[in-house]
Amino acid sequence: AQSVTQLDSQVPVFEEAPVELRCNYSSSVSVYLFWYVQYPNQGLQLLLKYLSGSTLVKGINGFEAEFNKSQTSFHLRKPSVHISDTAEYFCAVSTRDMRFGAGTRLTVKP
Amino acid sequence: DTEVTQTPKHLVMGMTNKKSLKCEQHMGHRAMYWYKQKAKKPPELMFVYSYEKLSINESVPSRFSPECPNSSLLNLHLHALQPEDSALYLCASSREGGFATEAFFGQGTRLTVV
């Protein structure tokens, strides 16, 4: 069975600083990995996905993630965050169905 | 059109009521999903429909009854719910089942059981 672990439940950061949200996965088969963002009282929006190919994946809103098979990681990064990036971020793994990590609350402070 | 539309956005129901949540997509997706999300928790998979047939039921209580009338519509019928069933209910769709491609989510229905 596949699963994901998000290593930080909360990440506070100042505006314009870089940020990394960490995600580790486990699976006995090939996986597809995703990062979703959820703003308050809204559904989930896809930031980026890794299906195959290049291990560096670029997404929307300036986010990127790197798939590392040897470390079973898929960390999300942004070089300079904005106040509007404050939200809940979910890492997800998919084979038969999609399973989410516990989420990381990113709070960007002025 | 890359939207998944859920109605209603908010619903308050008593424990003896019967209500339905609706979900619609016009992207030609053949897999549709119901998730339940409690506050400060990740979405939890409830049901998966693939080609209009129920393919996954994550041991959900029978007071939740899904229905897929056609490839564009997904309903969740609610009956005799408990206060602990209060949550955000999210619908999603994907091109095929198995989630090998991305899932598109609706904005959710905020359900309160009183």
- Mutant choice from B49, B55, B99 vs A, greatest count of A C-beta within 10 A: B99
Nearest CA in chain B to A52: B100
Other CB atoms within a 10 A radius of the CB of residue A32 amount to 20
Q: How near does any CA of chain A get to the CA of B110, in Å? A: 8
Q: Is A1 on the interface with B (CB under 8 A)?
A: no
Q: pLDDT by residue (tens digit) across B33-89?
A: 999 999 989 999 999 999 999 998 989 999 999 999 999 999 999 999 999 999 999
Q: pLDDT by residue (tens digit) across A52-84?
A: 888 999 999 999 999 999 999 999 999 999 999
Report residue B103's pLDDT band, with 50, 70 and 90 as the boundaries: confident
Mean pLDDT, rounded, for B20-37: 95
Q: pLDDT by residue (tens digit) across B76-97?
A: 999 999 999 999 999 999 987 6
A110 exposure class (CB count in 10 Å sphere: 0-12, 13-18, 19+): exposed
- Mutant choice from A98, A104, A106 vs B, greatest count of B C-beta within 10 A: A98
Q: Is B108 on the interface with A (CB under 8 A)?
A: yes
pLDDT exceeds 90 at position B106:
yes
Are the Cβ atoms of A90 and B4 closer than 8 angstroms?
no
pLDDT exceeds 90 at position B99:
no
Element (H or E) spanning A36, and its range? strand A32-38
Within 13 A of A104's CA, how many CA atoms are on the CB side? Answer: 26
CA angle A56, B45, A52 (to 5 degrees): 20
Q: What is the DSSP annotation of B8-39? A: -SEEEE-TT-EEEEEEEE-S--SEEEEEEE-T
Q: How near does any CA of chain B get to the CA of A38, in Å? A: 10
3-state secondary structure (DSSP) of residue A84: helix
Q: What is the DSSP annotation of B1-14? A: ---EEEE-SEEEE-
